[in-house]
Amino acid sequence: MLPLVILILLMGLGVGWSIGANDAANSLGTAVGSKVLTLRQAILLIVVFGFLGAYLQGGHVTKTIGKGIVPLDQLEKQVSLYVALIASFSACAWVVLATHLKMPISTSHSIVGAVAGAGLAVGAPVRWKMLLDIFACWVFTPIGAAILGYILFRLLQNVFYRFFPRKMIKPVVFFLVIASGCYVAYTWGANDVANSVGIISGVGVISQKMSVVFGGVAIVLGIMTWGYKVIETVGSEITRLLPIMALSAQLASAVNVHLYTLCGIPVSTSHSIVGAICGVGMVRGMNVLNFRIMKEMLICWMATPFVSGLISYIVFQAVRIFIKF
């Protein structure tokens, strides 16, 4: 049993690392793209505020991932441990591949699909109503962020250019871009830490509080080692961002994700920031958006829960051939 627990912890570390590597861009990628921060400065701020979000408010979504999709605490102990191990492996494998391709996919979609796939493989009772509720929130996440981003950009443009002296606009906007990016990092840490440790907490390997700290550390490692790859895509390849656009997108994304986090819903910070960027981009006209990269992202988004779920199901069935439980 101990070797299995150690493997689960290592896979949780791997999932957290992959989340940090893929989702770091969601926080301050826009600030880098708009030349407000350097890549190194952005990564440092993401590390600090992402960990704070994970530690202070990461417990909300952790409960949903750990027990809300498949009741891991009600399964036979060894079976629940294998579900946790294989779901973590499957989610990690898909996220690492997407990160290599520089695609900002949803780690939330990946882990939810993987948990459901492993649950189906073992014949566990999958809570379909919860999955449908989560799916509905996934659909509305980028739409809500786009609408909010569009409104905020219109509003902030009027506020800054009407009420601020021209020489004051640039420093104030730059400060607010950084501040809103830190807020995004905080909400990202609060929502996404559950993707790495929710199932670990759900099977009782470590306590919920300890699992949040463990996941936060794993995410930090991912940010520091590979986080730059997707930051380049989010920051500059969807549309050319001006500082006020970056501010509007980051603020829209942060508010959007924070609301779902407080409700315990695992949503995609990737979907949220990309939706917000599209929303602010549409203020300048549809022609400024890079539809090729957006099409590639959409395909990856739609495929993610099904691919990770399929990997999880197949791997679980393969393991059962060699290990009886």
Per-residue pLDDT tens for 23-44? 766 677 777 777 788 878 888 8
The mean-pLDDT minimum among 107-121, 270-284, 300-314 falls in 270-284
- CA-CA distance, 66 to 198, in Å (whole number)? 4
Q: Are 248 and 221 within 8 A, CB to CB? A: no
Instruction: Of 96-110, 116-130, 296-310, give the range with the top mean pLDDT.
Output: 116-130
Has residue 20 got a pLDDT over 90? no
Has residue 179 got a pLDDT over 90? yes
Has residue 172 got a pLDDT over 80? yes
Residue 248's pLDDT is what?
92
Residue 67's pLDDT is what?
73
Has residue 290 got a pLDDT over 80? no
Instruction: Tell the residue number behind the tokens 């979000």, with chain if given.
Output: 53
Residue 175's pLDDT is what?
92
Distances from the Cα of 88 to the Cαs of 66, 196, 208, in angstroms?
Answer: 12, 7, 17
Question: To which H or E segment does residue 187 belong?
Answer: helix 166-202
Q: Residue 166: give the domain boundaries.
A: 2-322
Instruction: Tell the residue number behind the tokens 């989340």, with chain if given.
Output: 19
Compute the mean pLDDT over every residue in the chain, rounded to the nearest whole number. Answer: 83
- CA-CA distance, 191 to 146, in Å (whole number)? 19
Has residue 90 got a pLDDT over 80? yes
Residue 322, SS3 per DSSP: helix
- CA-CA distance, 146 to 152, in Å (whole number)? 10
Provide the CA 314 distance to its chain's centre, in angstroms.
25
- CA-CA distance, 27 to 234, in Å (whole number)? 10
Domains: count for the chain: 1
Residue 163's pLDDT is what?
81
Q: C-alpha angle with apex 65: 22 to 101, nearest 5 degrees?
A: 20
The mean-pLDDT minimum among 50-64, 167-181, 244-258 falls in 50-64
Residue 228's pLDDT is what?
65
The mean-pLDDT minimum among 19-33, 202-216, 299-313 falls in 19-33
- CA-CA distance, 222 to 15, in Å (whole number)? 9
